[in-house]
Amino acid sequence: RIRSIHAREILDSRGNPTVEADVILAGGASGRAATPSGASTGKHEAVELRDGVKDRYGGKGVQRPVARVNGEVAVTLQGMDAREQAAVDEALIDLDGTPNKRNLGANATLAVSMAVARAAAAAEGLWLWEYLGDPLKPLLPVPMMNILNGGVHAGWQGPDFQEYMIAPYGAPSVAEAVRWGSETYHALKDILKARGYTTGGGDEGGFAPAVSTNTEPLDLIVEAIERAGYAPGREIGIALDPASSAFYSNDVYSLRTEGLTLTAAEMVDRYRDLTAAYPVIVIEDGLAEDDWDGWRLLTKALGDRVELVGDDLFVTKVDRIDMGIRKGAANAVLIKPNQIGTVTETIAAVHLAQQQHWGAMVSHRSGETVDTFIADFTVAMQTGHLKTGAPARGERVEKYNQLIRIEEAAGDTARYAGRSGFVR
> Is 336 one of the catalytic residues?
yes
Q: Distance between CA 402 and CA 99 in Å, rounded?
A: 33
How far apart are CB 109 and Zn ion at their closest, in Å?
22
Give the residue among 396, 406, 14, 410 at the shortest CA–CA distance from 185.
396
Among 130-138, 168-176, 358-366, 403-411, the segment contacting ligand PGA (CB under 6 A): 358-366
Q: Distance between CA 236 and CA 220 in Å, rounded?
A: 14
Return the one option of Zn ion, ligand PGA, none that residue 38 interacts with (CB less than 5 to 8 A, by type).
ligand PGA
Q: Are 348 and 11 in contact (CB under 8 A)?
A: no
399 is in an annotated binding site: no
Among 12, 130, 241, 376, which residue sits at the site for Zn ion (rule: CB under 5 A)? 241
60 is in an annotated binding site: no
Question: Which residue number has the CB closest to ligand PGA?
Answer: 38
Return the one option of ligand PGA, Zn ion, none that residue 331 interacts with (CB less than 5 to 8 A, by type).
none
Angle at 132 between CA 97 and CA 41, to 5 degrees: 50
Strand partners, 145: 166
How far apart are CB 38 and ligand PGA at their closest, in Å?
3
Among 37-45, 91-99, 211-219, 289-297, the segment contacting ligand PGA (CB under 6 A): 37-45
Give the residue among 204, 158, 157, 211 at the shortest CA–CA distance from 185.
204
Residue 183 found at the interface with Zn ion (CB under 5 A): no
Cβ proximity to Zn ion: between 46 and 69 the closer is: 46
Neighbours of 54 (CB within 10 A): 10
Among 48, 289, 311, 345, which residue sits at the site for Zn ion (rule: CB under 5 A)? 311
In 3-state terms the chain splits into helix, strand, coil percentages (rounded to 5) of 40, 20, 40
266 is in an annotated binding site: no
Cβ proximity to ligand PGA: between 118 and 364 the closer is: 364
Write down the catalytic residue from 101, 317, 336, 399. 336
Cβ proximity to ligand PGA: between 88 and 361 the closer is: 361
Cβ proximity to ligand PGA: between 363 and 382 the closer is: 363
Give the residue among 69, 172, 88 at the shortest CA–CA distance from 180.
172
Residue 95 found at the interface with ligand PGA (CB under 6 A): no
40 is in an annotated binding site: no
> Read out DSSP for 42-107?
-TTSPP------TTTGGGT--HHHHHHIIIIIHHHHTT--TT-HHHHHHHHHHHH-STT-TTT-HH
| Interface with ligand PGA: number of residues (CB under 6 A) | 10
Give the residue among 215, 259, 204, 265 at the shortest CA–CA distance from 240.
215
Q: Distance between CA 50 and CA 297 in Å, rounded?
A: 38
**Residue ranges binding Zn ion (CB under 5 A):** 241, 243, 284-285, 311
Q: Annotated binding site for (2R)-2-phosphoglycerate: which residue ranges?
A: 162, 336, 365-366, 387
**Residue ranges binding ligand PGA (CB under 6 A):** 38-41, 241, 243, 311, 363, 365-366
